[in-house]
């Protein structure tokens, strides 16, 4: 193990273990649980089961497994009920520990299953995509999608540990890796200008880059600090909501395109560009700042414009159903400067429409 961080949440604090080839650590965790007569279950998806078969066999050979069909479109209530029925039929009880092995879809889904079964069981995150490693596996947000919008059903349920094994990235398609870089870039943009500039100065990262451990660790540190200060996103301004930089736009893009046109990180890349455009219209950052963000996103072949163009009306309607809406008002995350984000309420709708137009909506 190269690095270990801690998400500080009092009695619910947990470690984030980062390194290459962590199967020994995971096997040790499983052995420890079994020594205490703790039942173990596994949720993964069909694509992870295919690509990570040797790893799954090494760590979870005789663990009862339930597989979710791969893809964001399957993160909904129907398979959620099926997974709960599986756990019940297997005779699992409140002492069960559920391992979530997969990308963000699996982590969100399995976390919600763990939060719901027997009114809450322990679960462990083993993310297999870069995006899940730096974002969805940390912080305890779990949930599934409704037709009306993304993650509209869910719960806050923290994992008991996160194992970030960079060897899992060896089978990850380049497009998926690049989508994860969107969340890493977001971390620098919202809280650490020096980190953002470090990413600008680096050659394009890939799964075997030696700098990747430190880059992932810094991204996780930023998220852990924000989560520790505002776990349930209840702060009246700032707080955990800052992690949604680009997400109000991005989630609307995903929902309107029915989760079929863009990977999550790709939609967030477009959303970050739109957030930068909005910040410009509010006279907070400059055009040059926006171009720097666009340039770094494009280095990883991430989209910064919608293609084909989507309806502004459809996107505005989708944003109106965003789960972050409170008391009839939606706060947007904007940039005061690169590395310093803030929440902004009561944004003029015409400015939102201008930002959408810049992103290619019509």
Active site residue ranges: 119, 141, 183, 223, 233, 240, 244, 247, 251, 264
Reference 270, options 186, 332, 340; nearest CA is: 186
Q: What is the CA radius of gyration of the chain?
A: 20
Given a contact cutoff of 8 angstroms between Cβ atoms, the answer to whether 274 and 312 are in contact is: no
């Amino acid at each position: 193990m190269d690095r270990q961080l801690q998400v500080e949440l009092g009695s619910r604090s947990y470690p984030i273990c980062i390194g290459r080839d962590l199967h020994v650590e995971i096997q040790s965790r499983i052995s420890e649980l079994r020594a205490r007569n703790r039942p173990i279950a596994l949720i993964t998806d069909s694509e992870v089961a295919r690509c990570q078969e040797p790893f799954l066999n090494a760590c979870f050979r005789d663990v009862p497994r339930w597989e979710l069909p791969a893809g964001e479109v399957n993160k909904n209530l129907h398979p959620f009920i099926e997974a709960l029925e599986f756990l019940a039929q297997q005779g699992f009880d409140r002492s069960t520990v559920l391992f979530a092995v997969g990308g963000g879809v699996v982590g969100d889904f399995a976390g919600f299953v763990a939060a719901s079964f027997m009114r809450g069981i322990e679960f462990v995150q083993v993310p297999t995509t870069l995006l899940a490693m730096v974002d969805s596996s940390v912080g305890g947000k779990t949930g599934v999608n409704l037709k009306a919008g993304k993650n509209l059903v869910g719960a806050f349920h923290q994992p008991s540990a996160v194992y970030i094994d960079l060897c899992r990235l060896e089978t990850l398609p380049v497009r998926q890796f690049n989508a994860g870089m969107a969340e890493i870039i977001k971390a620098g943009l919202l809280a650490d200008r020096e980190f953002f500039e470090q990413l600008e100065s680096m050659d394009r990262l890939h799964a075997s880059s030696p700098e990747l451990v430190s880059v992932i660790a810094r991204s996780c540190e930023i998220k852990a600090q924000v989560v520790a200060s505002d776990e349930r996103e209840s702060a009246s301004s700032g707080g955990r909501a800052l992690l949604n930089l680009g997400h109000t736009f991005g989630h609307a893009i995903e929902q309107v395109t029915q989760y079929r046109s863009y990977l999550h990180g790709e939609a967030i890349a477009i959303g970050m560009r739109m957030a930068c455009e909005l910040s410009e219209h509010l006279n907070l950052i400059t055009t040059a700042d926006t171009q720097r963000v666009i340039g770094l996103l494009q280095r990883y072949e991430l989209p910064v414009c919608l293609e084909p163009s989507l309806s502004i009306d459809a996107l505005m309607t989708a944003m109106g159903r965003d789960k972050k809406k409170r008391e009839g008002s939606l706060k947007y995350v904007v940039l005061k400067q690169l590395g310093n984000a803030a929440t902004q309420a009561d944004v003029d709708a015409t400015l939102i429409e201008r930002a959408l137009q810049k992103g290619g909506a019509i």
